[in-house]
Amino acid sequence: MTHDASPEPAYRADSLIAEDIDAYLEQHQNKGLLRFITCGSVDDGKSTLIGRLLYDSKMIFEDQLASLESDSKRVGTQGQELDFALLVDGLAAEREQGITIDVAYRFFATEKRKFIVADTPGHEQYTRNMVTGASTADLAVILVDARKGVLVQTRRHSYLAHLIGIRHLVLAVNKMDLVDYDRDTFEAIVADYRAFAEEIGIEDFTAIPISGFKGDNITAAPSPNTPWYEGPSLVEHLETVEIANAAAQARGFRMPVQWVNRPNLDFRGFSGLIAGGTVKPGDTVRIVPSGKTSTIKSIVTFDGEREEAVAGQSVTLTLADEIDCSRGDVIAAAGDPPQASDQFEATIVWMSDEALKPGRGYWLKLAAQTVTATVQEPKYEINVNAVGSPGEHLAARTLGLNAIGVAELRTERPIVFEPYADSRALGGFILIDKMTNATVGAGMLHFSLRRAQNVHWQPVTIDREDHAGLKNQRPRVLWFTGLSGSGKSTIANAVEQKLNLMNRHTFLLDGDNVRHGLNKDLGFTEADRIENIRRVGEVARLMTDAGLIVLTAFISPFRAERRMVREMMEDGEFIEIFVDTPLDVAEARDVKGLYKKAREGTLKNFTGIDSPYEEPENAEIRVNTVDMSVEEAADYIVSRILPLK
Amino acid sequence: MHLTHLERLEAESIHIMREVAAEASRPVMLYSVGKDSAVMLHLARKAFYPSPPPFPLLHVDTTWKFRDMYALRDRMAETAGMELLVWRNPEALERGINPFDHGPLHTDMWKTQGLKQALDHYGFDAAFGGARRDEEKSRAKERIFSFRTASHGWDPKNQRPELWNLYNAKKAKGESIRVFPLSNWTELDIWQYIMAEGIEIVPLYLAAPRPTVERDGLLLMVDDERFPLEPGEEPVMRSIRFRTLGCYPLTGAVESEAASLSEVVQEMLLTTTSERQGRAIDKDEGGAGMEKKKQEGYF
């Protein structure tokens, strides 16, 4: 026999409302706000759970209840009992199909918080809706049917929630009433989920055994039916989990300017929603991308001037100086401003029936900036539906409806941004079709592919010219590229010896060596290989600032990454050296035995075997190791670089 | 610093209004004089202060609103320093369309058609409305920026995805956007905000003795001499208030003694009937009534 866990709707102190409404209202002026999403498969009882939350917080009124009772009998799926799902399945079409098809927002409140719930569908083709609902959420409730356990959809939803940056996940094991509230069933599901969560990088989640239908562990825990459960009820957890806005306040100050407020010639204010940090009159700020600095004169609101404003508030700022600042600019902490760039790597979610057209111009909107952007052919598509491990990479030339991929994109002019992982407000963007004006995609910026523009460096007295002058040399990056076993490291080593004898100050960055230290956290996926090259490029750049001639030996098989590094450097300082060795020659050498492993299939993604090598088209220097010895090649390279100015 | 739910809702609504002011070429704020409109207008004044809101107010009038509403409407527009446009469907005016003789045609002609006419007449490309997602089931799925075709149609299956706080305000000539800055507010939020901010609302929201008659289960107020009394019908003074305000012959009152805002909230919290229940227009066509009206262009 089971107990009815929730005989009465149970969040509110109705007696306080009745006896002292003013005291009650006073209490409720200071509630926080938490936004969350619920995700689950079609029959996991998601709508029923939300209906239950609304019901328990008395967000359902008598007349709605009356129509619920008659609807439950007519089209309900719970026999003669109340079918809470009917409360939240909104549009007529979907009521008939019995599934939710879009994102709906629901509201309820407890004594401690107001909640906005994005109800997102569990149906396969609606990745788009879930990403939409998740984009504003602090927390995700992942529903699992206790009878079915962790399904492919469960993994997919969890992966998407994680991808969109939701830090708090709740695994709600629902329909516990249908498995007799069995502890072992619950724990087996949790263990199963934990293994998967660790695999995709979810650090933490909270698992709760519930029955949305019966009400167990929804408002109070433990339910008499689950005396073995020691955690919080779902509502208790929702009431206490940290809200993302608090974290945003701890960051550097940023406010994208939405609107310039100019009622008359004497007043010029900049209006916007603070995306990060706090601001006070007297703070020194920098306008990005122009880089100009000023001081906050006042924080103007309808209710008078403020002493302080924080992330999450909409304000109007005035500055002490008359400087240019308009919609799209970002007012930021002077010492810690965001950067501007026009080339990025990003994760893109495609939301249109018409597939992504690489190279076509779309409107990109990020914060208050709207610019034309082109997306390159995706580096890969993320297989969200992979059975077992969502997130595996697929080759892709485009992205179709509901596809998610990683691609480079370029904007027609630099935009102010931050990586999405640091700021949703300055790292999330939408793509708009210029013909139809439809929102066709959404994305999250990873990083800039270019040396950031208008970054504000701490001025140093001894600059790069001084460093180079003291060494009596022009800094260079000698970038050796070629197949594994082509002789890059050997030749680079010989070149460095020769330069050293000529009193040149050099440093050799070798691929294998760098992976033992700086890049030991990186693997060999395409993304990691790109990051490997990016970091090496940054290090090489710093060394040229120090006046050194840097030699690097990396396979670096893709033109795009070599171009990325080239663009990091001062004009003329990047020398691409193509160590041109035919595959059969390199394979015959096979110094490290890697080709053998690749041919046997034990080494995946090996350049030249099952991963392409894109030959340089305009390398400054090309050496042919079939006709030249190591010494000859090194001499040739030295002879070519010495005359360069 | 802890931000309360009202502070966060306020910041979101202001952000939405500023986006529209920055991106639309001719925005307008629909002003119905109800409590939601009052909050929306107050937020607009906050959003653009010290400038007045950079758009006019539009009242789509039916000539059948409560007298108290007309009085407050004119005063509020003046206080806010905003231009007030009043549109009355000329065809409805000519044909003398009224709620007593014409039933659903009254709402269709004055409100649905009247709104379309006004938007077309002035060439507005974005119109703020005070609708909330918690009001009614089909509203729960509507976007904050709700795209309408050149003929004002709404296609619930073809809405633009709305991510983060990024709103796509791009549109072709002739098309328009309805914008709902109060989407995420609930009825309780509205009341709490009215109290916290001291926002003036139509006195009809507070209980007072008023002349009433009972018709078809609705308690109607006899607001002026145009109300046709049936033979033997006699207005009765009752202490009533309204939870929602529309055309007086179509808006049901509730019997109440709640004469202060906090008493109204108290009643609301303890009550068991939903807000729109006092409105006759949602009831036709079963559960899909409002959704159907919206597809036809109703706000």
Residue A2 within a domain: no
Least confident segment among A358-362, A580-584, B175-179, B253-257: A358-362
Where residue A217 falls among pLDDT bands split at 50, 70, 90? very high
| pLDDT tens digits along A243-270 | 877 788 889 999 999 999 999 989 999 9
Asked if A107 is an interface residue toward chain B (Cβ–Cβ < 8 A), one would say yes
Residues B114 and B206 in one domain: no
Instruction: Give, as one character, the DSSP assignment of residue B107.
Output: I
Calculate how close chain B gets to A190, using CA atoms only, in Å. Answer: 31
Is residue B297 pLDDT above 50, yes or no?
Answer: yes
Q: Which of residues 53-92 of A touch B (CB under 8 A)?
A: 58-59, 61-65, 67, 71, 88, 90-92
Residues B237 and B276 in one domain: yes
Residue B121 within a domain: yes
Q: Domain range for residue A236?
A: 14-242
Is residue A89 pLDDT above 60, yes or no?
Answer: no
Residues B207 and B182 in one domain: no
Average pLDDT over residues A45-71: 70
Instruction: Please judge whether A101 and B19 are an interchain contact, meaning their C-beta atoms are less than 8 angstroms apart.
Output: no
The pLDDT value recorded for residue B217 is 83
Instruction: Please judge whether B166 and A365 are an interchain contact, meaning their C-beta atoms are less than 8 angstroms apart.
Output: yes
Query: Which chain B residue has the Cα nearest residue A30?
Result: B4
Four-point Cα dihedral B253, B259, B264, B267, nearest 10:
-80
Instruction: Please judge whether B49 and A95 are an interchain contact, meaning their C-beta atoms are less than 8 angstroms apart.
Output: no
CATH number at A404 reads: 2.40.30.10
Residues B270 and B185 in one domain: no
Give B7-10 contacts, CB < 8 A, sequence gap 24+: B7/A312, B7/A313, B8/A33, B8/A245, B8/A312, B9/A33, B9/B184, B9/B185, B9/B189, B9/B193, B10/A314, B10/B43, B10/B46, B10/B193
Average pLDDT over residues A172-179: 95
Residues A479 and A394 in one domain: no
Least confident segment among A241-250, A343-352, A391-400, A582-591: A241-250
The pLDDT value recorded for residue A48 is 83
The pLDDT value recorded for residue B198 is 95
CB A144 within 8 A of CB A187: no
- Cα separation, A411 vs A443, whole angstroms: 14
Q: Which of residues 150-209 of A touch B (CB under 8 A)?
A: none
Residues A100 and A51 in one domain: yes
A177 assigned ligand-binding residue = yes
Q: Which of A131, A232, A152 is nearest to A196 (CA)?
A: A152
Residues A144 and A263 in one domain: no
On the 0-12 / 13-18 / 19+ scale of CB atoms within 10 A, B141 is buried
Please report, rounded to a whole number, the percentage of residues in chain B having pLDDT higher than 70. 89
The pLDDT value recorded for residue A3 is 46
B158 contacts: CB under 8 Å, gap ≥ 6: none
Residue B195 within a domain: no
Residues B133 and B28 in one domain: yes
Residues B169 and B223 in one domain: no
Residue B253 within a domain: yes
Angle at A405 between CA A402 and CA A409, to 5 degrees: 120
Residues A266 and A378 in one domain: no
Highest mean pLDDT among A201-205, A235-239, B223-227, B246-250: A235-239
| Most distant CA atoms of chain B, gap in Å | 64
Residue B197 within a domain: no
Active site residue A556: yes
CB A233 within 8 A of CB A225: no
Residue B244 within a domain: yes
Domain ends where: A391, A424, A448?
A: A448
Least confident segment among A194-203, A221-230, A423-432: A194-203
Residue A570 within a domain: yes
Residues B146 and B27 in one domain: yes
Is residue A60 pLDDT above 80, yes or no?
Answer: no
Average pLDDT over residues B18-42: 96
CATH number at B152 reads: 3.40.50.620
**Two structure tokens written together for B167:** 């709103």
Residues B117 and B231 in one domain: no
Average pLDDT over residues B12-21: 98
Residues A433 and A488 in one domain: no
Best mutation target among A107, A245, A369 (most B Cβ atoms within 10 Å) is A107
- The DSSP result for A537-594, as a single string, is HHHHHHHHHTTPEEEEE-----HHHHHHHHHHSPTT-EEEEEEE--HHHHHHH-TTSH
Residue A470 within a domain: yes
CATH number at A478 reads: 3.40.50.300
Residue A457 within a domain: no
Mean model confidence pLDDT for chain A: 86
Instruction: Indicate which residue of A294, A556, A611, A629 is catalytic.
Output: A556
Residues A174 and A314 in one domain: no
The pLDDT value recorded for residue A134 is 93
The pLDDT value recorded for residue B174 is 83
Residue A8 within a domain: no
Where residue B276 falls among pLDDT bands split at 50, 70, 90? very low
Instruction: Please judge whether A314 and B2 are an interchain contact, meaning their C-beta atoms are less than 8 angstroms apart.
Output: no
Query: Which chain A residue has the Cα nearest residue B191?
Result: A25
Is residue A581 pLDDT above 70, yes or no?
Answer: yes
Residues A223 and A291 in one domain: no
| pLDDT tens digits along B131-172 | 998 887 667 778 899 988 888 877 766 678 899 999 999 988
A485 assigned ligand-binding residue = yes
Residues A362 and A264 in one domain: no
- Cα separation, A109 vs A112, whole angstroms: 8
The pLDDT value recorded for residue B287 is 41
Is residue A171 pLDDT above 90, yes or no?
Answer: yes
Residues A267 and A188 in one domain: no
Q: Domain range for residue B27?
A: 5-190+288-296
The pLDDT value recorded for residue A7 is 39
Average pLDDT over residues B200-217: 93
Residue B124 within a domain: yes
Residues A223 and A266 in one domain: no
Is residue B206 pLDDT above 90, yes or no?
Answer: yes
Least confident segment among A244-253, A267-276, A367-376, B42-51: A244-253
The pLDDT value recorded for residue A557 is 87
Residues B207 and B229 in one domain: yes
Residues B249 and B142 in one domain: no
Residue A290 within a domain: yes
Q: Please report, for residues A384, A432, A433, A541, the alpha-carbon distance to residue A438 in angstroms, rounded to integers and kept in the order given.
A: 24, 6, 5, 41
A232 contacts: CB under 8 Å, gap ≥ 6: A206, A208, A221, A240
Is residue A401 pLDDT above 50, yes or no?
Answer: yes
Least confident segment among A195-204, A256-265, A496-505: A195-204
Instruction: Give yes or no for a cis peptide into B50 (omega within 30° of 0).
Output: yes
The pLDDT value recorded for residue A98 is 46
Least confident segment among A105-119, A261-275, A496-510, B135-149: B135-149
The pLDDT value recorded for residue A644 is 67
On the 0-12 / 13-18 / 19+ scale of CB atoms within 10 A, A164 is buried
Residues A494 and A629 in one domain: yes
Residue A230 within a domain: yes
Is residue B274 pLDDT above 60, yes or no?
Answer: no
b/e map A306-332, b = 16+ CB within 10 Å: beebbbbbbbbbbbeeeeebebbbbbb
Residue B25 within a domain: yes
The pLDDT value recorded for residue A446 is 94
Instruction: Please judge whether B51 and A136 are an interchain contact, meaning their C-beta atoms are less than 8 angstroms apart.
Output: no
Residues A138 and A168 in one domain: yes
Number of domains in chain A: 4
Instruction: Determine how β-strand A369-375 pairs with β-strand A404-417.
Output: antiparallel
Which has the higher per-residue pLDDT, A53 or A306? A306
The pLDDT value recorded for residue A454 is 46
Domain ends where: A211, A242, A273?
A: A242
Average pLDDT over residues B88-117: 91
CA A110 to chain centre: 31
- Cα separation, A169 vs A36, whole angstroms: 10
Which residues are B128's β-sheet partners? B29, B179
Instruction: Please judge whether A432 and B168 are an interchain contact, meaning their C-beta atoms are less than 8 angstroms apart.
Output: yes
The pLDDT value recorded for residue A512 is 79
Residue A38 within a domain: yes
Average pLDDT over residues B65-74: 94
Residues B173 and B27 in one domain: yes
Calculate how close chain A gets to B22, using CA atoms only, in Å. Answer: 6
CB B73 within 8 A of CB B229: no
A304 assigned ligand-binding residue = no
Residues B49 and B68 in one domain: yes
Domain ends where: A242, A266, A290?
A: A242
Number of domains in chain B: 2
Average pLDDT over residues B195-206: 95
Residue B219 within a domain: yes
The pLDDT value recorded for residue A66 is 61
The pLDDT value recorded for residue B153 is 79
Query: Which chain B residue has the Cα nearest residue A247?
Result: B1
